[in-house]
Structure 1
Amino acid sequence: MALEDVNLDLGLLPNYALRLHHNNSKCSPGLAARQLFELLYNDPTKLILLAGCSPVTTMIAESAHVWNLLVLSYGASSPALSNRERFPTLFRTHPSANMQNPTRVHLFERFKWKRITILQSAEEVFDSTAKDLEEQCREKGIRVERHSFYGDPKDALKAIRRQDARIIVGLFYATEARRVLCQAYHYGLYGHKFVWFMIGWYADTWFIPHPDEGLNCTRKNMEQAVQYHFTTESIMLSRDTLPTISGMTGAQFLKRLRRRIITDPQETGGWPEAPLAYDAVWALALMLNCTMDKLINGKGLQQFNYKNKLIAKRMFECMKNIQFRGVSGQVMFSDLGDRIARTQIEQMQNGKYILLGYYDSSTQTLEWKNKEKFIGSKGPPSDSTRIKQWPIGVDYRLYLVCVNIMVIAIVFCISIFIFNQRYSHRRIIIQSQRQCNNLLIAGTVLSLFSLAPIGFPQDGANDDSIGQIATLGGENKIYSTSPFLFSTFCHLKLLLLMMGFSLAYGSLFAKVWVAHKLGSIQKNRQMTAANNNNEESSDAGGCSNIQLNSQQIPPTPWDSIRTLLTAITNKQAIVANALRKISQHSYGNLSSASAGSKSPAPNRRNIAILQTSLSVNLLNLPIPPSNFYPIIGIICLIDLAVSLFWFLFDPMQQQQIHFPLQEPPIGTELDIMLLPVLDLCQSQYHDVWTAILLSYKGLLLLLGLFLAYDTKHLKVRYLNDLNSALLSVCNVGVLCLLCGTIVVFFLRTQPNPFFCFISITVYVCTFVSIGLIFGPKLLFIYRNPHSTKEEEEEEEQYQKQNTFHESSINQAEQHRYQQLLKENIELKRQIETRNIRIQECRRILENQLVLSSPRVKSNKKFVPQNNNNNNTAAISSSITIEYTSSSCLPTTSSGVGGMGGNGGILLELDQTTISSVIE
């Protein structure tokens, strides 16, 4: 058809007619080489060679310059042909496959794709295109991965699926394209997550499976897999309405061509390249016409032969400069002989190709019609599975529930505080240490308030924020703050919880501690009073009573020694009684000499005050609030010190813990994977600081449990809620020991259980402690809204007793009272020392009796005689001793340190004394 139009044009090639000698090479380079040999060595002389597919064009163009022949290809798109050194006389009306690469790269940038995958057939034409595309993509910062196959694309597609490729550029012929598409359907490489780029010169129905190909896919499967793929191809048929060089428009050419063929155009080989072949003939005619005009000296085209380089040179120059409007668009050639043409972009939508726009690579401009569609109407998919950092924390629903409970609990505590202040004049409030209970309320409020920063949800901690993550535009960023503020926040929420615990538990612990201390002091006083009462009378074993009072002069140490010797000579059974006398005598001397021998009157007064103080029951006396404050203060100071040193020397910083990737919730239709990220407060020696806190807190809890058990029997008048405090200490101790261990060692990386355990522990401890302490008070006030007469009297008595130490005892007497207590302790210590010495003395005496080896003949009669006044026992016996040898008893001396000579005990036993007594 093109030859007819050229030959009919009278203004073109006058006196010449073009004749075509054609052969079907079947795209086989070997067959094409044979046919080329026959054409060249058979008349007439050929002026130019036309070629179709790339393999045949490669073989012909590589050797045509030997015969000074130009080669014009209408169907070769191989980028490898763009090589003037290898193919010096080649021109193509079919644009190079590389001409589509700038268009592809521009689309990648338009849709913000930074990662693509190339799947190519193992052909030279596609290999060159893939290399050029890879180079252009890397220049634009786009990551490229290449996979090739020969025959079966199954393995290549498996690799693509493993690499999570989403944007796939296919470079293969139509037959291979159908195999690739079928396997892609089976591997799920289609749909809203994937975008395929195919070659645009396939037939419009290329995806329909052929029965003879044996594909394991139906037409419906192929249509589903091919939906919404893109094609890029150089413009094969002009859509302009302007007439071309032949006088036809592109549409008129297509209509005329349809009338001349008898087969279905979609099944006719070379149908897409028909406009290119038509324009190739016109380019050939224009080149020959130009060459005729440039020949001089009457030379013509008929003078051309395979050795005429001059005419060949003129032909090359004319072909290079040709430019005209053809049915395929504007026809012109680059220096490499490539067709310069615009690229059209199409997309398969509902089984039909829709034109999306044109790209002019010479001007790098895109004419876009905004008709593209993607599955899901969410815009273009991502180039890969986006990994979005998803900050995890306490679920906002759990947080809201806990915060509401926290607010209710704080309001409840404030109400209890108001109640405690409102009825501070009532007996039940006075006798429960109101100030200490106020500290308990303050501690519970701080502990409750600390739950707000501990469980504060982070961005992305719930499913509703995933949609917001998708709008970040590909930026993997989460909310962050300055390191100093983050560290301060970490230490602040820890300090709030610690101080709340210290105030609340410290107030309970202080009550138990003070009660235990009072109970211990009262017990010691009772024991001391009992000892003093026993010391007022002594046993009567042949000796005079020794009474500790201000009217009798205490006996000398020799009286006790004499009693001991008498027991040895007369009555051996009285030895123990004698030793007891020595002990009582020693205590009497120490007591009388404690104030000095020259001032007996003050000593008697001091002893009287001491005995009076011992008779007072401390459990019934008012307890000043100042007794509780040091205990609570020490606990709080330890917390402050540990927190301060931790913050200064090893501050906590933000540490992110990454968890395994998770699928987004169903229904979001987001091509992302969520990377859960947990922000932790972590320091370099975090375990050491944690161990310090747990150690002293644990010891404090254990000590509280021990004291609570040891104090359970006490009844302290001005600690009327002591039993409630004991139960609260046990409750707090058990819960904190169990939950604290679980939270620290097992739940630190699980925000919801972590916050839930802490919240439940705080709530239970708060409500149980406040309920136990203030429940009976509330009930009592409810039942007795007004003070009774008995309460008023007790309140007055409390006021009097509260001022007892200020009115009845002046400062000097208080100081003397404290000194007496200290002296009493020192006397007890010295008495213990004397008792030890006495035990040694008795042991020595008993050993002497055994060593003397007496022959004893005795008739013993032990006659106990009860005497209520003297508490003595009479022992009668008849002893006959035959002394055969004497023994030497070593001298034993004992002195009272610090007592001078008045209160000492001196034991001096020698051999002469013992012998004389025994004889």
Structure 2
Amino acid sequence: MLQGRLLVLCFLLRVASCSGQPNATKLYLLGLFPWTGAWDGAEATVPATMLAVQDINADPKLLPDYELVVITRDTECDGGTATDEMYKELYNTSTTKIMILGPACSIATEPTAQASHHWNLVQISYSATSPKLSTRSLFPRFFRLLPPDSMLNVVKIAMFKEFHWTKVATIQESAPLFSLTTADFHIEAKQAGIEVIAAETFIDNPTTQIENIQKSGARIIVAGFYGNMARRVFCAAYHQKMYGAKYVWIVPGWLEWHWWRKTDASIDCSVEQMDEAVAYHFAVNIDNLPSDANRAPSLSGMTSRKFLERFAAVVDTDDPSSLTGFMEKSFAYDTVWTVALALHEAERQLSQLDPPRTVADFAYDSITCQILFDVISSLSFEGISGPIKFNSNGDRLGLILLRQLQDGSDVKVGTLDPTTGTGRDITWLGYEPISWLGGAPPIDFIIEREDRQTIQLSLFLTGAILATVGIALACCFLAFNIHFKKLRVIKMSSPNINNLMLIGGMLAYVAIIFLGVDTNIASTDTFVWMCRAKTWCLSIGFSLAFGSMFSKTWRVHKIFTNKTAAKMVLKDSRLFCFVTTLVLLDVLILVLWETLDPLVATERFGTKVIDDENDDIVYTPIRMMCESRNQTYWIGAFYVIDGLLLIFGAFLAWETRKVSIPALNDSKYIGVCVYNVLILSFVGAPVSFILEERNAHYALVATLIWLATTLTLCVVFVPKIRTRNDVQPAQNTLVSQVTQSHQGVTSVDAQKELQLLRQEIGRLRKNLHDLGQDDKE
């Protein structure tokens, strides 16, 4: 079927070429058309070329005594094939080709246009749209009737301004044509104040890229692809529900008619699903056939309607619009007219040379080539496809059309004429109104709102009240400890060390208040100072409180693991030194931290959350944090020191778990406190790092600090309050037999009792040994 159609078209083309004057001189044009290959646009462009040749040869006023002849070759829409076919004809000396028509595909046009100027040939394409072809240094003798895709960006920008869209996403097939066009669009968008929030490129599977655009929140999407990849993109968009009233898609307008309905085994979408996905999308392209009501008469004298009738009469099909290249047919027609007008004017200018010449004398000379180039550069006429004029890059300046797919019909909704006014205003009058599924233009971006997560005032007040209660409780215990410090049960538990524990607890309570100070109740500077104060209070408070418990547990452990009969006295001064060492170590780290890497206020962004009632709104949680560049290392130092202290303290508590002499020390209670702090610390520390929600984070951390501190203080001091009147020095243990040293140190009497017991045991063992020796004698 295809081969039969090609033979008919070739025959008709030859007939058209011979329809001029019988004795006319033939002017040969090399026509490069894609009969086969990825895009077989010759189905429609060759018949249109035939009509133009027929009309020109039949016009006695245009190129009299000459007859245009087009020699066609199949490029297969391939650069190598097109170049090979071109050279074959140029080296065919039986005919001299005065100009080159085509090719159609940009990939075939680029190599031929780079080479043809070396033969002093002017080349005109009817459908190549690559922005690269606008580079005069690479393609010095090239023109095209179909403007580059990059020139169509002006309509997209004008459309964005019309509907107040300032954010857009782009997706493109990985091909030079679309890469250059998209890059140019990004530049123009930036100049117009439009933000490209997602720029995606794919090779053959756009699924991931579609998902990325969806995550970006963009609703206006500019796409660049060929028909086969366009089907994959919209099928992926269908599965991601990226279509309908809330999305706007803008695609190339030169894609073949009903491109989404073609059978394609590479997609998993039905025709009905594709119809739904592409509904109401926009397409941008040069207006290939302006309405007769909105234009001046064409130079050929034909109206758009008449052209369509004649075209339909030539092609061998019941539905001309189904032909590949149907959208480019008018450009092919006008390309031949551009060549004819250039040859006609060149004939006049050549005749004025000395000696006179004609276009028939062309022998790949630079003089005729330059005249043809200059004539085309200055041409301006009304073609079937609209006004025709070229800029300095050889790109046509023509009407740009904006179309929309409405209820399955391709509807013209506006045009832009770059040659009139500012060249950046869309004309809506005289065209069908745009149809919006939602009744109005959609928003260009998911409305993103900041959700500044601050600690609720009620939660902060609750934490502050509990901290105040804790401070009051610690003060009561401190008053009790000082007032009854000479009472035996208090005196033997090292009240001075207990005072340090209480001070540490108070600092922990104060840290809860500092922890709750947020930017909703304080300035940023104050917030930073509160952060620093919280760090100091927690660090020093922990060292004082837990260091005191640890030191007392260590003393009990040392006494009960002493294997010798030697007297062991561990004074409170040694315990003071141990706690002081821990505090000074904390102070050293804190001073270095503040000096070398001070805390500053930073905003931390959480995971975006879509509004439950309106999916056009997304909230970004923002937490004001106190952080420093190397904060992890500083916190890590505290975790290592305090972690080791906790682990060793738990070990000592376990070792002294069987100590049951009440007056010796509150060792059992201290052990319980160590386990309590250990468990809460190991549970709370990692959870506090993971938890992002500000109120939940404060509630958790404050609760853990308050529980650990309150339980520790109550476990240590409540038993002392309950038993302060029950402890009698002479009733509980043998400790009453040993008096305290005259130095007044609080080294408990139990130490002396143990030493006396060990000495007594040693003496008895010696007596037994002596008795045994006597019996032997």
Q: What interval of TM-score do these two structures reach, taking the shorter chain for normalisation?
A: 0.5 to 0.7
Structure 1: state its 5+ residue gaps. Answer: 121-126, 460-479, 516-627, 716-721, 781-790, 792-813, 819-824, 851-919
- Give the structure 2 partner of residue 756 of structure 1: 700
Aligned positions, number: 626
Match of 2:104 among 46, 49, 53: 53
Report if aligned partners of 1:505, 1:729 keep a CA contact under 8 Å in 2.
Answer: no
- Give the structure 2 partner of residue 469 of structure 1: none
1:732 aligns with 2:773: no
Match of 2:274 among 222, 225, 230: 222
Give the secondary-structure state (helix, strand or coil) at the position aligned to 2:261: coil
Give the secondary-structure state (helix, strand or coil) at the position aligned to 1:324: strand
Q: Per-residue deviation at 1:42? A: 9.9
| Separation in 2, partners of 1:816, 1:207 | 100
| Separation in 2, partners of 1:200, 1:405 | 64
1:340 aligns with 2:408: no
Give the secondary-structure state (helix, strand or coil) at the position aligned to 1:304: helix
- Give the structure 1 partner of residue 425 of structure 2: 367
Q: Per-residue deviation at 1:439? A: 8.8
1:353-432 alignment, distance < 5 Å? 355=413, 358=416, 360=418, 366-367=424-425, 377-380=442-445, 403=460, 405-413=462-470
| Separation in 2, partners of 1:692, 1:28 | 75
Give the secondary-structure state (helix, strand or coil) at the position aligned to 1:320: helix
Give the secondary-structure state (helix, strand or coil) at the position aligned to 2:590: helix
Q: Per-residue deviation at 1:233? A: 2.5
When residues 215 and 46 of structure 1 are mapped into structure 2, their CA distance, relative to the original with a 3 A threshold, is: same
1:647 aligns with 2:701: no
Q: Once superposed, what is the RMSD of the aligned Cα atoms?
A: 7.3
Residue type of the partner of 2:511?
A: S
| Separation in 2, partners of 1:458, 1:87 | 62
Q: Per-residue deviation at 1:645? A: 1.7
Report if aligned partners of 2:589, 2:634 keep a CA contact under 8 Å in 1.
Answer: no
Give the secondary-structure state (helix, strand or coil) at the position aligned to 1:273: helix
* CA deviations over 1:590-623 (Å, ceiling 9, x no partner): xxxxxxxxxxxxxxxxxxxxxxxxxxxxxxxxxx
Q: Per-residue deviation at 1:328? A: 3.4
Give the secondary-structure state (helix, strand or coil) at the position aligned to 2:425: strand
When residues 17 and 510 of structure 1 are mapped into structure 2, their CA distance, relative to the original with a 3 A threshold, is: closer
Q: Per-residue deviation at 1:321? A: 1.9
| Separation in 1, partners of 2:291, 2:377 | 25
Give the secondary-structure state (helix, strand or coil) at the position aligned to 2:258: coil
- Give the structure 2 partner of residue 290 of structure 1: 345
| Separation in 1, partners of 2:269, 2:646 | 71
- Give the structure 2 partner of residue 873 of structure 1: none
When residues 755 and 264 of structure 1 are mapped into structure 2, their CA distance, relative to the original with a 3 A threshold, is: same
| Separation in 2, partners of 1:303, 1:510 | 110
Report if aligned partners of 1:101, 1:132 keep a CA contact under 8 Å in 2.
Answer: no
Q: Per-residue deviation at 1:255? A: 3.7
1:134-149 alignment, distance < 5 Å? 136=184
Q: Per-residue deviation at 1:103? A: 7.3
Residue type of the partner of 2:707?
A: Y
Report if aligned partners of 2:446, 2:618 keep a CA contact under 8 Å in 1.
Answer: yes
Q: Per-residue deviation at 1:458? A: 10
Residue type of the partner of 2:677?
A: C
Match of 2:328 among 269, 273, 289: 273
| Separation in 2, partners of 1:506, 1:682 | 24
| Separation in 2, partners of 1:440, 1:292 | 109
Report if aligned partners of 2:292, 2:304 keep a CA contact under 8 Å in 1.
Answer: no
- Give the structure 1 partner of residue 259 of structure 2: 206
1:690-839 alignment, distance < 5 Å? 690-693=639-642, 713-714=662-663, 729=670, 731-743=672-684, 747=687, 749-751=689-691, 756=700, 759-760=703-704, 762-763=706-707, 765-766=709-710, 769=713
Report if aligned partners of 2:518, 2:527 keep a CA contact under 8 Å in 1.
Answer: no
When residues 17 and 402 of structure 1 are mapped into structure 2, their CA distance, relative to the original with a 3 A threshold, is: same
1:170 aligns with 2:235: no
When residues 507 and 400 of structure 1 are mapped into structure 2, their CA distance, relative to the original with a 3 A threshold, is: farther
| Separation in 2, partners of 1:57, 1:687 | 64
Report if aligned partners of 2:684, 2:704 keep a CA contact under 8 Å in 1.
Answer: no
Q: Per-residue deviation at 1:94? A: 2.6
| Separation in 2, partners of 1:170, 1:130 | 6
When residues 23 and 496 of structure 1 are mapped into structure 2, their CA distance, relative to the original with a 3 A threshold, is: same
- Give the structure 2 partner of residue 254 of structure 1: 304
Residue type of the partner of 1:207?
A: W
Structure 2: state its 5+ residue gaps. Answer: 1-50, 191-195, 429-433, 557-570, 726-740, 746-751
Give the alignment's TM-score, normalised by structure 1: 0.48
* CA deviations over 1:434-458 (Å, ceiling 9, x no partner): 9999998776554333234457789
When residues 458 and 66 of structure 1 are mapped into structure 2, their CA distance, relative to the original with a 3 A threshold, is: closer
Match of 1:330 among 387, 399, 412: 387
Q: Per-residue deviation at 1:736? A: 1.8
| Separation in 1, partners of 2:518, 2:427 | 45
When residues 134 and 669 of structure 1 are mapped into structure 2, their CA distance, relative to the original with a 3 A threshold, is: closer
| Separation in 1, partners of 2:117, 2:637 | 85
Residue type of the partner of 1:448?
A: Y
| Separation in 2, partners of 1:703, 1:177 | 71
When residues 182 and 209 of structure 1 are mapped into structure 2, their CA distance, relative to the original with a 3 A threshold, is: farther
When residues 137 and 98 of structure 1 are mapped into structure 2, their CA distance, relative to the original with a 3 A threshold, is: closer
When residues 649 and 91 of structure 1 are mapped into structure 2, their CA distance, relative to the original with a 3 A threshold, is: closer
Q: Per-residue deviation at 1:410? A: 3.9
1:497 aligns with 2:440: no
When residues 709 and 443 of structure 1 are mapped into structure 2, their CA distance, relative to the original with a 3 A threshold, is: farther
Q: Per-residue deviation at 1:223? A: 2.4
- Give the structure 1 partner of residue 510 of structure 2: 449
Residue type of the partner of 2:273?
A: N
Q: Per-residue deviation at 1:222? A: 1.5
Report if aligned partners of 1:232, 1:343 keep a CA contact under 8 Å in 2.
Answer: yes
When residues 48 and 639 of structure 1 are mapped into structure 2, their CA distance, relative to the original with a 3 A threshold, is: closer
Give the secondary-structure state (helix, strand or coil) at the position aligned to 2:147: coil
1:531-550 alignment, distance < 5 Å? none
* CA deviations over 1:310-331 (Å, ceiling 9, x no partner): 7666444433321234453432
Residue type of the partner of 2:342?
A: M
| Separation in 1, partners of 2:242, 2:93 | 54
| Separation in 2, partners of 1:510, 1:63 | 91
Q: Per-residue deviation at 1:332? A: 1.9
Residue type of the partner of 2:381?
A: F
Residue type of the partner of 2:360?
A: F
Report if aligned partners of 1:236, 1:272 keep a CA contact under 8 Å in 2.
Answer: yes
Report if aligned partners of 2:158, 2:426 keep a CA contact under 8 Å in 1.
Answer: no
Q: Per-residue deviation at 1:273? A: 2.9
Q: Which moved more, 1:215-224 or 1:292-301?
A: 292-301
Report if aligned partners of 1:410, 1:448 keep a CA contact under 8 Å in 2.
Answer: yes
* CA deviations over 1:16-47 (Å, ceiling 9, x no partner): 4886656876765889969x979x9999x998
Q: Per-residue deviation at 1:4? A: 9.4
Give the secondary-structure state (helix, strand or coil) at the position aligned to 2:174: strand
Give the secondary-structure state (helix, strand or coil) at the position aligned to 1:331: strand
| Separation in 1, partners of 2:635, 2:343 | 88
Q: Per-residue deviation at 1:119? A: 3.2
Residue type of the partner of 1:53?
A: A
Q: Per-residue deviation at 1:663? A: 8.0
Q: Per-residue deviation at 1:254? A: 3.2
| Separation in 1, partners of 2:717, 2:142 | 103
When residues 346 and 456 of structure 1 are mapped into structure 2, their CA distance, relative to the original with a 3 A threshold, is: farther
